[in-house]
Structure 1
Amino acid sequence: MSSFLRHTVALAAVSLVPTSAYALSQGTHRDLSTTACWKQKLPSEFCAEVGAAAYNVDHYEWDDLSAHAQPEAGETKCQAANKALGRVRALAQEVRAISDAGADYDPALAVALGRVLHTLQDNCAHSGMPNEQHAWFSVSDTCTDTKSSPDVQPEAVACAEKETALAFETFAKQVKVPTPPPPQEPGSTSQPAQFWPKRGGVCDFLKSGASWDGVDRRWNNSLVVGALRDQLGSSLTIDPSAPTVDVCAGDESALDLAAPAPVVDTSAPVEWCNLLKLYCAGKTDGAEEAPPWETSPTNTGDGSAESSGCAVGGKRSSSASLLALALAACLARSRRRER
């Protein structure tokens, strides 16, 4: 498939799909991080690497639920929140250690900071919501007209933007970022590589929604947001060796919501639409594709679209025939590659 046709297909597919204005997508993680970094007047190359690291947590750490401020199966709210705090502490220690190690620029500094930011940002959206509950809402939003996912709430982005800005204020006071080396090729505009999550992990997540019992199990985020912020500040600027703070102070009910959302009737799960069926029909170990809730191609290091250039995401479109043509073109190219 020619470059022109590939871009035409991708553009046509994306244009058929409405986007969510407030989606806490991978691109949102990246953009919040780079914008806050620039505002602190830190090196642009460093800011780009921080943004890519925040973006890539969904690729490299999809199955580590503490990275996303969510509980593992069987964990209590307090256990999961404290694990997220422990992650922030460990990464802040890593940032501090890299900073103290010497004057030369180390890309690992940007990676550690980006990973911290992703967790702070995700907590603003997830509030400890288990995967099953999250997946129920994600399937509903993708296949119907609902906007119930925690990742599409305006207050989630507002919180993430605030916490990211505060994190960078703390970072900039403590760490002096060395000047990154110039690009190997003068005039190069390449960006750090960015990757979608693994398809198998995404589909396992989406399938888990059918097992949700309708009970709202989020934690009291008015406590956890501040605890994560304080943990970062303490571990980065005061005493890196200090233990993780117990946000519950030994009280297992400390994070219970005073007014959880009403119980949802889950007796009739939302039927998967063709978008989800087509996505999860692909090879779990094949070329990565945009997950269903994403609506734009990923920028890779060479400025091209991530994976095969056939990223299609978002909700159902009334122009089903055009979407089918775009998908058919993508599938045809994939078959030719496999021969």
Structure 2
Amino acid sequence: MRRSRRPIVIASRTSRLARVQAELVAKALRKLHPVEVGFHWVESEGDQITKGSLAEAGGKGLFTRRVDQAVLDEKADLAVHSLKDLPVDPAEALSGLSLAATPKRHTVQDCLVSAKRYGSLTDLPQGGIVGTSSPRRAAQIRRVRPDLDIRLLRGNVDTRLNKVLSDDGPHFDAAVLAAAGLKRLGLGEHADRPLSIEEMLPSACQGALGIRCRATDHVTLTRCLPLNAASTSTAVTHEREVVRLLGADCYSPIAVLAQPIDPAKTQAKRNADSHWFRLRVRLCSADGQTTLEADEKCKTSELRRVVKQVTTDLLNQGAKEILAEAAKARILEHPGSNPPSEAPQSTPSPIHGFQSPPPPAGDRVLAE
């Protein structure tokens, strides 16, 4: 069968991290297909909101709708997303698109960033100010350190780093960021204080990318298929299902992680049983003091059943009520604190000792 010579156009957000991720996918596609690869850059609704809570601004799909619409309008062949930004409920996503591939996942951990290089949440001073835009992170921080003052910290990665590391502007003792984003941007030196999975369970799909294209575009679907990593795809599919079955979204204080288990650490008696996963779920109240958790290990073939079992158990324990109360509590407004004013998300001026490096070369996102 003759291979298509049609160029590939990738749609992506305009943020520096989104551009790096799109460029990494483009490099991988160029290796597979000797065709021209170009870009269609889109400013998302989420990128235009510089103040307040994203959940209150509409939440689901704020970072993906316009990018996906560009693919549906045939301005691009495929879209590259941080998979955790995609709505988990098919009814909330634009119809006509398919998830063509999920490349190999990057690191899933969050990390602590601070000017004083605090090593963990326990090292932070009493009443210290911690910045985040994530209800999941805020609730888990309060679970460990209820004395800390959690304040809203929005913006792209460079903006948030500058607010934490600079002596100018609002003061933060620390911030919690995804290690994967820092490393993809070549800022790995700021990701050297990872928080343990036990202390800070990540969001569903953290560290994973999703490549979407038109469901009827068989040429692009075929081109993207080799980029799919089976174990990553299995993990994120079931993580998203946990969030959906609990009636939550990426702005809920819920953490989910499905990870392959080394076959040597299982009780498999046959090769067919050697592929196992560990599924962990944690959801918290706004103050972090009420927590529901699940931790199960199973063969990959049983993962779907275990997801249903775990979510049913959590719902019977009051998961919906906890999530509803957390949403009402406006989880990122600490009583008595005044959230700092938000700066625009444009690239900030460099501070002493920190400058934004150029996007890294290579397709590490597909290899790590």
TM-score scaled by structure 2? 0.29
TM-score scaled by structure 1? 0.30
**Which of the two has greater strand per residue?**
2
**Which of the two has greater helix per residue?**
1
